Amino acid sequence: MFTGKDHIQAAFKRTFTDRVPVRIWYAVGDGGEMPGATRKDVRTRGDKYAGYILWVQDRVRSDSVTVAAFDMVMPAEFAGGELGISTREVVDLARRGVPLLKDKTLFGRFKPADLMQGQRLPYYMEACRLVVEGAGDTAIDAIITAPWTTAALLRGEADLIYDTRDDPAFVHELLRFATEYTKTVGLKIAETGINMITLGDPSSGCSVISPKMFREWSKPYLEEAVRFLRENTGARICLHVCGKIDDILEDLINTGVEAISIDGPTSLANMVDVNRGRVVILGNIPTELFIEGSKEQLEEQVRYCIDTAAQESGFILSSGCTVPGTEENVIHTIRYAHRYGRYPLAGLN
């Protein structure tokens, strides 16, 4: 009997278990309200967040579960105590869509601080530790923000793009800060015993910046973070970029990551062709189908993904991005994928 961790590890080792690995991403709150905890509890208490993940996983049974250590407060905490801005104010700014560095002169007061003295990293680390304890037979993934996306969260995507032309020295400084942030968070999160770190980089996709801009501004810092995390942690390093990324697939593969998770708009067939077995591919059932799609549409996508990418090991069937849909659709998709993805693959024989 294989465990979820066995299935995921087989993809990385290019071996086989008895079926294709299946991972569906759940976002906080989308599995419904957990009895005994409010959504605020889940977002602020590590034990409640871990409890929530395990509560959902108990019914869903994905081969991998995810702790999403992805927020706007943690980079602000890393910026240090001399900002003169409280956590509550940072949260309020985030809610209104106002980036912390709307006024970029504030960057002069950034002095990297010990994140363990803040609130967010200890919260995520507690959640990771408890999920590792409670779901040890499942592969455990933590998403952290990659450098360009961290910089975009701090400065705002549009202003960061304008800055590349108006004030390139500032962008490099900000990216150096953001890279240190990614490395620091990844290193500490890996100490909890999780199996995989996913660098979430939605602001690096072709829906936001051009391939040229990615190569010039995002990729060098991403490569540095990947290299550091591969050398200094035992975790597998994965990359997820939202939206369409067909034009930068080769660049992403060359960053040194071991796995790339692609979103619904990117062509899985193209990814398989470009990749030629170099990295593990995770993807890419369109997330919107989990909201408005029928069971037949989800089954069709499961068949398409497996037929397209699972001929060899090194493929994990996954939702394209975090799933907003009903638990019923998620459970149906996973159960169907378990049947359709059983080796030898029926669709291929």
Partner 1 sequence: MIFDEIRKEVIQGDNRKVQELVTKALSEGHGVQDILQKALIGGMLEIGEMFIRQEAYLPEMLFASRAMQDGLKILEPLLVTENIPSGGKIILGTVKDDVHDIGKNLVGMMFRGAGFEVIDLGVDVSPGKFVAAVQEHNPDLVGMSSLLGTTMRYMKDTLEAIRAEPQGRSIKIMVGGAIVTPDFAAKIGADGYAPDAASAVIKAKELLQEK
Q: How far is the CB of 55 from partner 1 (least distance, A)?
A: 18
Q: How far is the CB of 224 from partner 1 (least distance, A)?
A: 22
Residues 6+ apart with CB under 8 A from 25: 66, 318, 319, 321, 322, 323
DSSP H helix total and E strand total for the chain: 16, 8
Q: Select from 1, 108, 231, 292 the one that contacts partner 1 (CB under 8 A).
A: 292
Q: How far is the CB of 98 from partner 1 (least distance, A)?
A: 9
Q: Select from 3, 207, 267, 270 the one that contacts partner 1 (CB under 8 A).
A: 207
In this complex, which beta carbon is closest to partner 1, that of residue 293 or of residue 314?
Answer: 293
Q: How many residues bind partner 1 (CB under 8 A)?
A: 40
Among candidates 6, 15, 29, which has minimal Cα distance to 195? 6
Site for partner 1 in 221-260 (CB under 8 A): 242-244
Contact flags string 141-170 toward partner 1, x per CB under 8 A: ----------------xx--xx-xx-----
- Asked if residue 243 lies in contact with residue 207, where contact means CB atoms within 8 angstroms, the answer is yes
Q: Select from 21, 147, 200, 202 the one that contacts partner 1 (CB under 8 A).
A: 202
Stretch that binds partner 1, among 6-14, 73-81, 140-148, 318-326 (CB under 8 A): 318-326
Is 276 one of the binding residues for partner 1 (CB under 8 A)?
Answer: no
Q: Select from 37, 94, 132, 187 the one that contacts partner 1 (CB under 8 A).
A: 94
Site for partner 1 in 15-54 (CB under 8 A): 27, 30
Could you give the angle at which helices 168-190 and 157-166 cross, rounded to 10 degrees?
130
What one-character DSSP code corresponds to residue 86?
-
Q: How far is the CB of 63 from partner 1 (least distance, A)?
A: 20
- CB-count exposure of residue 106 (10 Å: 0-12, 13-18, 19+): middle
d(CA 114, CA 161): 29
- Asked if residue 69 lies in contact with residue 144, where contact means CB atoms within 8 angstroms, the answer is yes
- CB-count exposure of residue 166 (10 Å: 0-12, 13-18, 19+): exposed
Structure token digits, residue 311:
């001929």
Q: How far is the CB of 131 from partner 1 (least distance, A)?
A: 20
Q: What amino acid occupies position 19?
A: R
Among candidates 333, 327, 329, which has minimal Cα distance to 55? 327
Is 96 one of the binding residues for partner 1 (CB under 8 A)?
Answer: yes
Is 205 one of the binding residues for partner 1 (CB under 8 A)?
Answer: yes
Q: How far is the CB of 103 from partner 1 (least distance, A)?
A: 18
Interface with partner 1 by CB under 8 A: which residues?
Answer: 27, 30, 94-97, 157-158, 161-162, 164-165, 202, 205-211, 213, 242-244, 263-265, 286-288, 290-292, 319-325
